[in-house]
Amino acid sequence: MINKRVFIYGAILIIFAVAVCIRQNIVRSERSHEAASVNSEWERDGKPVIVREISRQDVREFAKITAVPDGDGQLSVHVPRLIQEKLRPGQPVFLNNPGDSVAGRVTEVAEDIDLNTGMFPVKTTFTDKEKKGLSSLVLYVNTGTLKDVICLPREVIVLDQGQNFVWVIEAGRAKLVPVETGERNGYGIVIEQGLKEGDRVVFQGYAGLSEGDKVNILANRMEGERL
């Protein structure tokens, strides 16, 4: 009886081990097939990227300020002189740096510095009732406009050995173009040299690119359009 049980248990273990091996081989085969499919697709159609044709535009600059409620139902802010000089009563404040959603207005801009903080007091109203109970709130204020510039998000600019580069698509191939940068603002970085209007810049998918790669353009839009 004991030998029969040993035989049965041994057979079960062998069957289990064989099943595990078969499953492992199937998984390896599926993974290999998937990798081969991706590589063959890239070789056939090119690496997938999202591209935008860039143009010169006027770009608004925004400063980030942290506001706290005061006792009279407004928000109190302290700002350095560089921002204080650009603020005026009635000026809108925003919930985001593109300036899409007006959150309130500047009501007071102090002419004299606060000796306790070394900055200038500013007061604003705020219209969003859902956020009025917060102890502090991050807002944005427009401090100027950069005229007729090419401006790109920081993340699309590649830094290599102290030099800035941008991925550009030419004749269906990826090309790494050196650029000179200028001012930085809430949106991104101004490109002084290296790009021109109509250049097609890779906004997404650049992480896996190499020089001369064939690309599959999934979206090709003018800069400023929403994806």
User: Is residue 73 within 8 Å of 80, Cβ to Cβ?
Assistant: no
pLDDT digits (tens, 9 = 90+) for 116-140: 999 999 999 888 766 666 778 888 9
pLDDT digits (tens, 9 = 90+) for 104-119: 899 999 999 999 999 9
- How much is the pLDDT for 36? 47
- Look over the chain and give the mean of its residue pLDDT values, rounded to a whole number: 82
Alpha-carbon span 191 to 187, nearest angstrom: 13
Report which of 138, 132, 72 is spatially closest to residue 107, judged by C-alpha positions. Answer: 72
- Tell how far CA 19 is from the center of its chain: 47
- Tell how far CA 218 is from the center of its chain: 18
Alpha-carbon span 42 to 37, nearest angstrom: 9
Torsion angle in degrees (nearest 10) through CA of 218, 224, 226, 227: 10
- How much is the pLDDT for 80? 93
Average pLDDT, stretch 216-226? 63
* Most distant pair of Cα atoms in the chain: their distance: 101
pLDDT digits (tens, 9 = 90+) for 153-199: 989 999 888 899 999 999 989 999 999 998 887 668 999 999 999 99
- How much is the pLDDT for 102? 87
Q: Which of the four pLDDT bands, split at 50, 70 and 90, describes residue 151? A: very high
- Tell how far CA 145 is from the center of its chain: 21
pLDDT over 70 at 18, yes or no: no
Q: Which of the four pLDDT bands, split at 50, 70 and 90, describes residue 97? A: confident
> What is the torsional sign of CA 56, 218, 155, 166?
negative
- How much is the pLDDT for 226? 43
pLDDT over 90 at 223, yes or no: no
Lowest average pLDDT, out of 4-13, 59-68, 126-135, goes to 4-13
pLDDT digits (tens, 9 = 90+) for 22-51: 777 666 655 655 544 556 665 677 888 999
- How much is the pLDDT for 37? 55
